[in-house]
Amino acid sequence: MNSFKLAVLSAVLLAAPARAELIKFATLAPEGTDAAKIMQAIDAELRAKTSGQLGFKFYLGGRQGDEKDMVRKIRLGQLQAGGFTGVGLGEIAPEVRVMDAPWLFRNSDEVDHVLKTFDADFRKDFENKGFVLLGWTEIGFIYVFTNTPVKAPIDMQKLKIWMWEGDPIAESAFKALDVHPIPLSITDVNTSLQTKLIDSVYSAPLYAIALQWTDKTKYIYNVPMANASGAVLVSKKAFDALPKDQQKLLLDVGAKHLSKLNALTREENRKALESLKAHGMIMTDTTPEQLRSYEALGRKARRELVGRLYSAELLDRVEKSLAEYRAKSGAAKAPKAAAK
Amino acid sequence: MKRPALAALACALALSACSVKTVAVRATAAVVSDGTPALREEPDPLFARDALPGQLKLLEGLLRDAPKDPRLLSALSEGFVGYAFMFLEDEQPDRARDMYRRALGYALRLAALNGDLAAIAVARPDALDAALARARLQDVPGLYWAAYAWAGWANLAKGDPEALAGMSRAQSVMRRVLALDPGFQFGGPDIFFGIYYCALPKMAGGDPDKGKAHFEAALARSKGKFLMAKVLYARYYAVAALDEALFRRLNEEVLAASGEDLPQARLTNEVAKLKAKKLLEKTNELF
């Protein structure tokens, strides 16, 4: 009898949440990047405010595999959170990749406008797929780096341009341009630039430097193809298991720090472009007419992705909201090149 | 009449004073930079940590009067990289970042004493490779410390495009050092590539298997006596490969080894032991 009681008692005690469980967080961003530092700052603040009851355990630099592996491990419960780029977001909630749609945004203010306007939609998209949004962490505007100058869309057809295999955004953009890219894994890009299998790549400026692609290219085309988004997501299952006060704290602290990260990334990309130019990289100019041609190209490319990533309804609403924003903010009638 | 003569005299005096000073500076520079081995052989890391700033400041002072003295430039490059790596990087990364940058300045000046290497910080990749092809054995210290300083700076300033661009330059420079003198600093060039291939993400050219081969090559060069190679092997390869058993084994070997086995690198070996201990304490965070 007594030993039975004891067994029940110890079972109850063992089941009680006596010790804090850490949220296992993975990202491709390596140690020492701003993304890693900001997540560590979130962790420090959470631990301080919960006496160590809530915090993260970090797997940086792709130590848990690529983003598809990370998503799979979160679904299996081996991880509870991740910092994702479009690749991972596409695995989870393809609709939100409307943020990555080709030639959609002209500058970062427009990006912020859409994120704010569609915040509830995007959060619901993530939640339906079992994830909670902690904050957006964009990669930045995506430029084309080439070895011959590109001044007009037609010049792109002469390039041996890389395409990240399975990247629907680039695929639709290249299709609209009538460009035939060479699909390769991102890990093969450096060697393929060296062997001249490809002569052009696309990336946000800071990443192009970090990936050492800018040593192997000479020109930057002044018209970004898209703005690459990213986000920090937490498994809804893990989130729901937290006490209410910790849920709120996690959302608040996360949002506060991650909005700083976005501002930092934008500043770094701006500095990266300046530094590349200072070191002899040539940024090609485009005429206003050529820039305008991207309006039609963009519409065509974005339609390509309807049904594959997002619905026509969502795309229409986003484009309409942007048009209204441009009209209201008195944006220049002709589209402007380069994101500021 | 008198004035020109006076002026000439003043001039002569100034010149001789100047040359006396130059001779003195050169002699002092020789003595002070010859003190570097004493630091390398120091068994007490805390004593070295406290002594280094004074020593480096003195060398910087002497350098003002002998700006092209190779011994001073070499001691300063090595000293600032060593100070940043051994004593700052783990606890004060921002200061370490600035010290690496300072080391880079001296190392580039040292390398530039060979005119062929004067533009290695700005040359485009093709020109950089052409310049490096002309480098000789005597250029190794400048190139070696420049590569380490560049990589150290880039590693601690990942959001800074100027710093990041240095990683690819560092790699080209160290590849040349590896060809010229693979045994420099107890296999330092192989240690560099061990870290390089393990720390970089795969998409940027990272390849832990290649990194492992370089760490093994470095260890073979010092017959396992240069303990820092093991610590870095654990910290970069074992962590990247999620190999906890190897991580523990390497660090425990460092703790069990005698720092006296390699007297010329006593200080680095003692610091390696401190780092191994700290790494073992972090095992649960890392795996």
User: What is the Cα–Cα distance from B109 to B73, expressed in whole angstroms?
Assistant: 7
pLDDT value, residue A2: 54
Interface probe for A, chosen from B160, B168, B175, B237 (most Cβ of A below 10 Å), is B168
pLDDT (mean) for A30-57: 93
Residue A19 has pLDDT above 70, yes or no: no
**Position B3 pLDDT exceeds 70:** no
Q: What is the mean pLDDT of residues B15-24?
A: 63
Instruction: Return the amino acid letter for A16.
Output: A
**How far is the alpha carbon of A32 from chain B, nearest alpha carbon, in Å?**
6
A67-118 pLDDT tens trace: 999 999 999 999 999 999 999 999 999 999 999 999 999 999 999 999 999 9
CB pair distance less than 8 Å for B125 and A205: no
Q: What average pLDDT score do residues A151-156 get?
A: 91
Q: What is the pLDDT of residues B124-146, one digit of tens each?
A: 888 999 999 999 999 999 999 99
So what's the pLDDT on residue B2?
47
- In this structure, of A281-295, B22-36, B135-149, the range with the lowest mean pLDDT score is B22-36
Better-predicted residue by pLDDT, B14 or A56: A56
C-beta of residue A270 within 8 angstroms of C-beta of residue A340: yes
**pLDDT reported for residue B200:** 86
Is A333's pLDDT higher than 60? no
How much is the mean pLDDT over chain B?
91
Beta-strand relationship, A131-136 and A230-235: antiparallel
Calculate ∠ Cα B143-B149-B150, nearest 5°: 85
**Whether the Cβ atoms of residue B81 and residue B145 lie closer than 8 Å to each other:** yes
Name the residue with higher pLDDT: A255 or A6.
A255
Q: d(Cα A207, Cα B181) in Å, to the nearest integer?
A: 33
Task: Please check whether residue A215 touches B, CB under 8 A.
Answer: yes
Are B79 and B59 a contacting pair, CB within 8 Å? yes
B27: pLDDT confidence band, cut at 50, 70 and 90? confident
Confidence class for position B115, pLDDT limits 50, 70, 90: very high
B161–A206 CB contact, under 8 Å = yes
* pLDDT level of residue A340 (50, 70, 90 thresholds): very low
- Report chain B residues touching chain A, CB-CB < 8 A: 93, 122, 124-125, 155-156, 158-162, 164-165, 167-168, 199-205, 239-240, 242, 285
The CA distance from A233 to B285, in Å, is: 21
Best mutation target, A211, A216, A266, A277, to test chain B (most B CBs within 10 A): A211
Q: Which residue of A has its CA nearest to B202?
A: A187
Contacts for A218 with CB less than 8 Å, ≥ 6 apart:
A146, A147, A281, A282
Specify the pLDDT at position B124: 85
Does A275 lie at the interface with B, CB-CB under 8 angstroms? yes
Q: Could you tell me the pLDDT band of residue A3, with boundaries at 50, 70 and 90?
A: low
Q: What's the per-residue H, E or C state across B198-248?
A: HHCCHHHCCCHHHHHHHHHHHHHHCCCCCHHHHHHHHHHHHHHCCCHHHHH
CB spacing of A206 vs B242 below 8 angstroms: no
How far off is chain A from B220, nearest CA to CA, in Å?
A: 28
Q: What is the pLDDT of residue B41?
A: 93
* pLDDT tens column, A195-252: 999 999 999 999 999 999 999 999 999 999 999 999 999 999 999 999 999 999 999 9
- Band of the pLDDT at B150, cuts 50, 70, 90? very high
From chain A residues 151-190, the ones with a CB under 8 A of any chain B CB are: 186-187, 189-190
pLDDT of residue B12: 55
Please report residues of A whose CB lies closer than 8 A to that of B93: 32
Reported as a single tens digit per residue, the pLDDT across A172-202 is 999 999 999 999 988 899 999 999 999 999 9
The count of CB pairs under 8 A between chains A and B is 69
pLDDT band at residue B8 using 50, 70 and 90 as cut-offs:
low
% of chain A with per-residue pLDDT over 70: 91
Residue A65's pLDDT is what?
Answer: 85
